[in-house]
Amino acid sequence: MSLVTDAPLVDPAVISKVLAKGRSTGAEFAEIYVEDKRSTSAGLDDGKVEQVTSGRDRGAGIRVVAGDTTGFAHTSDLSEHGLLAAAEAAAAAARQGDGGVHTVALQPLLRHPVNNVRVAPSSVAKSTKVELLKRANDAARSIDGAIVQVSAGYGDSMRRILVANSDGVFAADDQVRTLFRVSVVANGDAGMQTGYDSLGHTIGFELFDENDVEELAERAARQALVKLKARPAPSGALPVVIKQGTGGVLFHEACGHGLEADLVGKGASVYRGKMGELVASPLVTLIDDGTMSGEWGAIGIDDEGHPSQRNVLIENGVLTDYMWDFLRARKEGRRQSGNGRRQSYADLPMVRMTNTFVTNGTDEPDDIIRDTEHGVYVAKLGGGQVDTASGDFVFGMVEAYLIENGEITDPLREGNLIGNGPQVLRDIDMLGNDFAMGNPGTCGKDGQGVPVGDGQPTLRVKSMTIGGTAA
């Protein structure tokens, strides 16, 4: 079922007054963004439920643009008086103008829901959610006596938004997300080793009809246990094979941010001025797609009120487009791409990814391994850092193995992958046919975090620098 309701968060008549007030000083653009978010979270650590919390946050952000100046104000007061006061403050910040009256004709409410929620998380008892944590804890500990610590977390949220602007946009969306994570610590001769796994989708509590929290916990436990027997990772340049799903974060960080139009415009992207050029292996097609129903980064509309889209960024190695927010696209005469996103009503929108992924190739995953005489197989990537201006990055390898004579052999201790995003794109020489999305993620940019997804098929980069400790 769609959770988008007929009743808007604020009366359309009030919205029209607010937008008119925003433009009353001569500004050419005014926008109101209204949000009502409810969330629940629960955590378990060392066998004990530490907290079960519920919260609600609601308010509005009003943006007024006059020339190159943007005025912004936000308020938790959704009354007509509170919204008009915020609009007046934003307008004053943008420009002192003619005080004229500007009428806004709002179009019918725009909807493009990607949620298909069968069981609203708010309808499920908190005790049922806590029971999931206990089941995960018991499953992880049952694997082996070397498991000494388990932590698990549950979260759900329902976010209603409404966006209207002086161009006539009037759009709404309800976004439901449900999340579960497990972290495990094992102790052995190699010291403490960790394992982690998570799942999250833009669906309701039916997530747990389709996914088993015991299996999730067992995977995290086995990851930690395998690393107890790991040998030091090699150091130097080697071929690297990255397992399906797990490497999407590399493309998100190492090249995705560089394709965001605001960073391109600031000269902070290595991809500036390269539209139409070959920037990757011809095997690579990179897409950002907010319409992927159920995936963590799916949105019906972006936070500027425009429908989410499937945007081809790199096609057969050629850079075809950047990601755009509405105002920047309008200024540059480009089509908007549905990538204007914000953390909350108290934040301005900026260009952000949704679900970013490399599409399928034609190679069998087993053939990629067999064709690699000596290298590293990365089964799970961790977090990393990237310089968008140069494309240089460092990523942690959470779970990795040695490849010897075309076979996956010994597990490796955690090390780093060091490289350059554009170079890695060019050096992909085999691409599997087993595409998968990875774990749910939160992307941070300029102090704001938004939910994102990423993915890719199994692939091989012919040479990457491994930052290991082996001689």
Which residues, in sequence order, are CB contacts of 102 under 8 Å at separation 6+? 19, 20, 23, 24, 166
Task: Work out the average pLDDT over 374-384.
Answer: 92
Tell me what the pLDDT averaged over the chain comes to: 91
Taking a C-beta distance cutoff of 8 angstroms, is the pair 95, 25 a contact? yes
Q: Is the pTM of this model over 0.85?
A: yes
Residue 26 predicted with pLDDT over 90: no
Share of the chain above pLDDT 90, in %: 80
More confident residue, 469 or 75: 75
Within 10 angstroms of residue 72's Cβ, the number of other Cβ atoms is: 18
Half-sphere exposure of 176 (CA within 13 A, CB side): 22
Residue-level pLDDT at 98: 43
Residue 102 predicted with pLDDT over 50: no
Per-residue pLDDT band at 99 (split at 50, 70, 90): very low
CA distance 197 to 399: 11
Listed range (54-68, 89-103, 397-411, 453-467) with the worst mean pLDDT: 89-103
Taking a C-beta distance cutoff of 8 angstroms, is the pair 62, 31 a contact? yes
Which residues, in sequence order, are CB contacts of 333 under 8 Å at separation 6+? none
Task: Work out the average pLDDT over 278-290.
Answer: 97
CA distance 43 to 183: 11
Residue-level pLDDT at 195: 94
Residue-level pLDDT at 36: 97
Residue-level pLDDT at 2: 47
Per-residue pLDDT band at 101 (split at 50, 70, 90): very low
Task: Work out the average pLDDT over 59-84.
Answer: 93
Residue-level pLDDT at 103: 45
Taking a C-beta distance cutoff of 8 angstroms, is the pair 130, 66 a contact? no
Residue-level pLDDT at 109: 60
Listed range (78-82, 124-128, 307-311, 412-416) with the worst mean pLDDT: 412-416
CA distance 453 to 461: 22
Angle at 197 between CA 354 and CA 370, to 5 degrees: 90
Residue-level pLDDT at 254: 82
Per-residue pLDDT band at 6 (split at 50, 70, 90): low
More confident residue, 371 or 191: 371
Per-residue pLDDT band at 470 (split at 50, 70, 90): low
Listed range (60-64, 136-140, 163-167, 389-393) with the worst mean pLDDT: 389-393
Per-residue pLDDT band at 97 (split at 50, 70, 90): very low
- Where are the CATH 3.30.2290.10 domain residues in the chain? 12-228
Taking a C-beta distance cutoff of 8 angstroms, is the pair 158, 122 a contact? yes
Listed range (3-12, 69-78, 242-251) with the worst mean pLDDT: 3-12
Indicate the class that CATH gives domain 12-228: alpha beta
Task: Work out the average pLDDT over 356-378.
Answer: 97
